[in-house]
């Protein structure tokens, strides 16, 4: 019994004392922000048809749907073309800020608002990759995903938390004004109003603790709360990835085309999914290869959640799934879906591999010496709008 209590105490101290998986959360932040940014840039010429006033899903139809499902989108605040352009541009800027890890706590909220606003405006324009980005945009808000590989971490190493600057409070001040306007005009549902109010209040408390009591009990309590939320968010992200693969695999098993091994053959014959017709025709001409790929896809997806307890087997299947999504991007012409899924898979990458990858990237940067400490090693705690950077942790292995 004593051993059980001691183990429980150590586990509680671990999950509340630090934010686990700093490198995994950084990859998630960079990957999803980059995926959404590249999508917005690629679709910039068609933005009005996808999410704006020129699309087949009119403003009136969107109003009727949102009135029934209570989805969140600021694009329903006005049907003016200028308002749509402003939201689209702000979504792209938030993606850049989140990608670089600049004032990450505030930019993650703006990033989430941009993603939900555009996707919920035209719900029939998305695919599986959009659904993953939709979910991860919300999960990133509660994670401390800028502990490493971010401008926030760089600022903390160079200046410390005491010189946080005015950009963070200004961002939160603007967000507070937007939240107040939404509340006063009844634009928010009760749930979203409570969520935004809680985010703003916690950010204000953190700023006051950093300014007036940086070493006090109040700041320590906020750190514990942030660590618990971060670790819970990372656990939810990992669970979400397992759920995606488990449901996809088991639904495939029930399909007759997957059972006879011919499922991959049919999309290879559709013009929409053949950016390289010659390559698709070559693959479709081999019945054995089509069967092996079809069965292999099902086997990997069903097996992956069960391999998490075996590190080596999990890493092998993880590499296979990433190669599979890379193949989907090339063969079926779904690059953003593949980018989203590869980024989601990255939450399970070993810390040692991410450290090696970061070291190779740092070595390629001009003006950087190969010797010396890692570029994103442990640093002083970051200000409220950034993320404190604890020592690197080996989770998940």
Q: In this predicted model, what pLDDT tens digit does every residue of 296-310 receive, in sequence order?
A: 999 999 999 999 989
Give me the residue spans of the domains in the chain: 19-155, 227-358
Q: In this predicted model, what pLDDT tens digit does every residue of 224-252 receive, in sequence order?
A: 999 999 999 999 999 999 999 999 999 99
Q: In this predicted model, what pLDDT tens digit does every residue of 76-133 receive, in sequence order?
A: 999 999 999 999 999 999 999 999 999 999 999 999 999 999 999 998 888 888 999 9
Q: What is the pLDDT of residue 375?
A: 43
Q: In this predicted model, what pLDDT tens digit does every residue of 270-295 receive, in sequence order?
A: 988 889 999 999 999 999 999 999 99
Spatial separation of the C-alpha atoms in residues 40 and 92, rounded to whole Å:
7
Spatial separation of the C-alpha atoms in residues 3 and 8, rounded to whole Å:
8
Q: In this predicted model, what pLDDT tens digit does every residue of 32-60 receive, in sequence order?
A: 999 999 999 999 999 999 999 888 999 99
What's the residue count for the chain? 397
- Report in angstroms the alpha-carbon separations of 198 from 126, 136, 202, 225, 265: 30, 19, 6, 13, 50
The values of phi and psi at residue 261, to 5°, are: 80, 20
Tokens 């049907």 appear where?
Answer: 79
* Alpha helix stretches (DSSP H) within the chain: 2-17, 22-42, 47-50, 59-69, 81-100, 104-121, 128-141, 151-159, 167-184, 190-212, 217-253, 256-259, 277-284, 287-303, 311-331, 335-345, 351-364
Report the half-sphere exposure of 84 (CA within 13 A, side-chain side).
Answer: 20
């Amino acid at each position: 019994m004593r051993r059980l209590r001691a183990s429980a105490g150590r586990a509680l101290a671990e999950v509340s004392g630090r934010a686990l998986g700093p490198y995994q959360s950084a990859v998630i932040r960079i990957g999803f922000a980059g995926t959404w940014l590249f999508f917005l840039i690629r679709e910039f010429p068609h933005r009005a048809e996808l999410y704006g006033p020129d699309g087949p899903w009119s403003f009136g139809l969107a109003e009727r749907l949102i009135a029934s499902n209570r989805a969140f989108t600021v694009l329903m605040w006005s049907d003016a073309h200028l308002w749509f352009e402003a939201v689209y541009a702000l979504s792209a800027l938030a993606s850049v800020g989140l990608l670089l890890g600049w004032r990450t706590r505030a930019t993650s909220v703006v990033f989430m608002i941009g993603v939900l606003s555009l996707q919920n405006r035209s719900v029939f324009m998305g695919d599986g990759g959009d659904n993953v980005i939709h979910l991860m945009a919300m999960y990133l808000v509660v994670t401390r995903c800028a502990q490493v590989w971010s401008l926030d971490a760089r600022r903390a190493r160079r200046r410390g938390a005491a010189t946080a600057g005015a950009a963070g409070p200004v961002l939160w001040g603007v967000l507070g004004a937007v939240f107040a306007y939404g509340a006063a005009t009844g634009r928010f549902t009760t749930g979203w109003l409570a969520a935004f109010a809680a985010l703003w209040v916690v950010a204000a408390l953190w700023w006051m603790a950093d300014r007036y009591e940086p070493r006090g009990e109040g700041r320590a309590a906020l750190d514990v709360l942030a660590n618990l939320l971060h670790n819970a968010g990372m656990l939810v992200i990992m669970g979400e990835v397992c759920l995606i693969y488990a449901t996809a695999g088991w639904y495939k098993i029930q399909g007759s085309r997957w059972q006879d091994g011919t499922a991959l053959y049919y999309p290879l014959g559709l013009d929409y999914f053949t950016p390289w017709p010659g390559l698709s025709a070559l693959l479709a001409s081999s019945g054995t290869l089509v069967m092996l790929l079809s069965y292999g896809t099902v086997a990997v997806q069903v097996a992956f959640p069960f391999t998490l307890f075996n590190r080596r087997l999990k890493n092998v299947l993880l590499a296979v799934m990433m190669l599979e999504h890379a193949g989907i991007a090339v063969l079926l012409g779904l690059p953003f879906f593949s980018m989203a899924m590869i980024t989601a898979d990255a939450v399970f990458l070993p810390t040692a591999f991410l450290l090696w990858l970061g070291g190779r990237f740092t070595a390629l940067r001009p003006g950087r010496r190969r010797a010396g400490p890692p570029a994103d090693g442990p640093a002083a705690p970051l200000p409220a709008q950034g993320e404190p950077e604890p020592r690197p942790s080996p989770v998940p292995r």
